[in-house]
Structure 1
Amino acid sequence: MNLELQRFKADFFKALAHPLRIRILELLAEGDKNVNELQMLVGDEGSAVSQQLSILRNKNIVYGTKEGNRVTYSLRDPMIIELLTIARQIFNNHLIDTVTMLDRFQEDIAKKR
């Protein structure tokens, strides 16, 4: 059972392990969007949106609702928003630690001069 849960987590994080997929999730966290809206919002990478949505759909992270010719995408679980927020906080903490370490390094160099 524990191994199955670990595999699920690993597959879940693999599905998130692409900058464009993260961007799509961030945009969907703001509200449901169709492919055209997502393509417009991501700009140059727009042609890859459908491919990335397919991966997110296959991992049950997003789902689509068909409305005529259009499919509107939504987050399957609103906790994804919390996950993205926590990931941003972890990144910010790491960045703060790195900046602090760089400041100390520069102070040490200045003292040696």
Structure 2
Amino acid sequence: MAVSRELQQFKAEFFKALAHPLRIRILEVLSEGDRNVNEIQALLGLEGSAVSQQLAVLRAKNVVSGTKDGTSVIYSLRDPQIRELLEVARRIFDNHLVDAISLLETIRNE
């Protein structure tokens, strides 16, 4: 029982870490390869501390890791299966979108 509760707590904390659009975008960028903060900001078209703040959350929840490289930190996914999780979430979203479009077409044709 205790292991089950611990697993449920881990899952809840893990999904809380993912529960922000910018954190998802950061993970999508990192799923394509390791990057430093400046590279992530440039790829996302953002400036300022927003990316650093969200990276700190992801790091605290052990979703990403950072490795010092001179004066910068290179961020990477702690587990490559996060990439697969993002792909599955995308497929689920696509399925919901297809269902919504189908429903709208049915309504329109009635």
Question: TM-score, structure 1 length as denominator?
Answer: 0.92
Amino acid at match of 1:13: F
Q: Name which of structure 1's ranges 1-10 and 26-35 shifts more when overlaid on structure 2.
A: 1-10
Contact map agreement 1:35 1:49 (CA 8 A) in 2: yes
Contact map agreement 1:35 1:71 (CA 8 A) in 2: yes
Deviation at 1:21, TM superposition (A): 0.3
Deviation at 1:45, TM superposition (A): 5.8
Structure 1 partner of 2:11: 9
Contact map agreement 1:21 1:56 (CA 8 A) in 2: yes
1:1-113 pair list within 5 angstroms: 1-44=3-46, 47-108=49-110
* Deviant stretches of 4+, over 6 Å: none
Deviation at 1:46, TM superposition (A): 5.0
Q: Which runs of 5+ in 2 are unaligned?
A: none
Q: Distance in 2 between matches of 1:46 and 1:61?
A: 22
- What percent of counterpart residues are identical? 65
The structure having more radius of gyration, on CA atoms, is: 1
RMSD: 1.0
Task: Say which SS state the counterpart of residue 33 (structure 2) adopts.
Answer: coil
Question: TM-score, structure 2 length as denominator?
Answer: 0.95
Q: Which runs of 5+ in 1 are unaligned?
A: 109-113
